[in-house]
Amino acid sequence: MRIRGDYHMHSRYSGDSNNDLEAIVQRAIEIGLEEIAITDHGPSHNGYGIKRIEYGVLRREIDHLNEKYPQIKVLLGLEANILGVDGRIDLDEEMRGMNDWVNAGYHFGSNLKMDYKIHLDNIFSKFSKKIHNRALKTNTEAMISAMRNNKINMITHPGAKGPIDIAAVAKAAAETGTMLEINNSHGHLTTDEIVIAMQFPVKFVLNSDAHKIEDIGKVEDSISRVIEAGLDPKRVYNIIEE
């Protein structure tokens, strides 16, 4: 099993990666990928997010690379932040008009404004059952509203940064045509979470979430979880069976 495309990776437009765009494309070609999405952190992520004004610059850089390297398709994506229970994400209409692919996920560093309590609950959820349950309810509600209110290709690392009701998320993902990620770097979905999610007619996608060039296309750990869970590879968007 291998993947034909990697739909989650960061470039130097994210505060936590130094990856040069052309180096990303060259590496992706070298390892035989046919398609990649550049998915930098959404602009409301403090310190790590792409500057709103740079999104158009990134679009032009990607257009140029697509012309220079016709052997691969490079998509402009975003790893938008889920910002609150109302399902807001930090992708505005102008950015949406420019891009080809939308990931959304929950991150501690995002600017939640009125919903900052979500961060506190997720940080302290390990220490108290009551806080854990409250965080689980809020995170699940936020993720489901994000899928219902926005066209999103994929939810990144579901459950990695705070507890969620995976069955409820998978059901909403199936209803809204949103894929769930089996993230190689973050360990989520876990094997157990895949087993629960696959009871719903949802599609999955395996990604590296590379912040370094050498990690692009690396999904060995995700593939092990697919096998352990007994998930039919046909339900995974980017798997090629050989």
The contact set with Zn ion (CB under 5 A) reads 79, 105, 156, 209
Angle at Cα 171 formed by Cα 165 and Cα 177, nearest 5°? Answer: 125
Residue type, 101: W
Q: Which is closer to Zn ion, CB of 11 or CB of 138?
A: 11
Output the smallest distance, CB 53 to Zn ion, in A. 21
Determine phi and psi for 44, rounding to 5 degrees.
-85, 0
Output the smallest distance, CB 148 to Zn ion, in A. 21
**Structural tokens at position 72:** 């691969």
Closest CA to 11 of 209, 173, 181, 145: 209
Output the smallest distance, CB 110 to Zn ion, in A. 10
Output the smallest distance, CB 235 to Zn ion, in A. 22
Output the smallest distance, CB 104 to Zn ion, in A. 10
Q: Which is closer to Zn ion, CB of 122 or CB of 156?
A: 156
Q: Which is closer to Zn ion, CB of 100 or CB of 175?
A: 100
Q: Which is closer to Zn ion, CB of 145 or CB of 183?
A: 183
Q: Which is closer to Zn ion, CB of 79 or CB of 165?
A: 79
- Strand-pairing partners, residue 5, are 35
Closest CA to 209 of 51, 48, 28, 38: 38
- What is the distance between the alpha carbons of residues 236 and 216, in angstroms, rounded to a whole number? 18
